[in-house]
Amino acid sequence: MLQRSSEGYRILIVDDDDEMRESLETLLQSAGWKTKTVPAADAVLQLIEEFEPEVILTDFRMPGMDGMTLLANLRQLNAPPVILMTAHGDIPMAVEAIQLGAFSFFEKPFDPRRLLEVLASAVVQNRLSDMNNDLKARLSRMSKLDRIYLGDSEDAKQLRDRVLEYCEISAPVVLTGETGTGKES
């Protein structure tokens, strides 16, 4: 069922080991995933633009940029969830990875079915999150809030979300602030 539901999910696989990369590609394709593989972390950013992966599965130890650095870099962007793999894993490393925002952590060798499950759930969660964001944006547009309260900053976005949330409450909501913050427009 899960395999079927993951039909068409896009995954970017980053691993310097050819066999590993190829086997993961085979596994994921057999489960209906659309895959893209790269042997190094440097090409990842460009591929995010081109391929728009819904989840990134990366090896931890690689020549050049390693998995942890990649994770740290991606976290600053609106990047898809990242799942780390390692053959040297230990628990502190896993904890660090999770703290840095990794979706999950796998030790090689792993149970492939479990990997598929986790990857799928990452995609689902990511999709839900995206969907949520889309809906919020749509709601904002529909209420013309985006025209009343302008701003592309993160704070402005959050405030718009809050306003939309408070819409459900039957009480007047007043925005206050310094002159020039845009509250009157």
**Residues in touch with another protein (CB under 8 A):** 3, 17, 19-20, 22-24, 26-31, 85, 87-92, 107-113, 116
Q: How far apart are CA 75 and CA 92, in angstroms?
A: 20
Three-state SS at 101? coil
> Which amino acid, one-letter code, is at 4?
R
State the nearest-atom distance from the C-beta of 33 to another protein, in Å. 11
**Residue 171 burial by CB count (10 A; 0-12/13-18/19+): exposed, middle or buried?**
exposed
Residue closer to another protein by CB (options 92, 172) is 92
By beta-carbon proximity to another protein, the closer residue of 107 and 146 is 107
CB of 18 to another protein, least distance (A): 9
What's the length of the chain? 185
The one-character DSSP state at 175 is -
- Closest to another protein by CB, 54 vs 59, is 59
Residue 47 CB, nearest distance to another protein (Å)? 21
CB of 60 to another protein, least distance (A): 11
Closest C-alpha to 57, from 27, 95, 91, 99: 27
CB atoms within 10 A of CB 25: 17
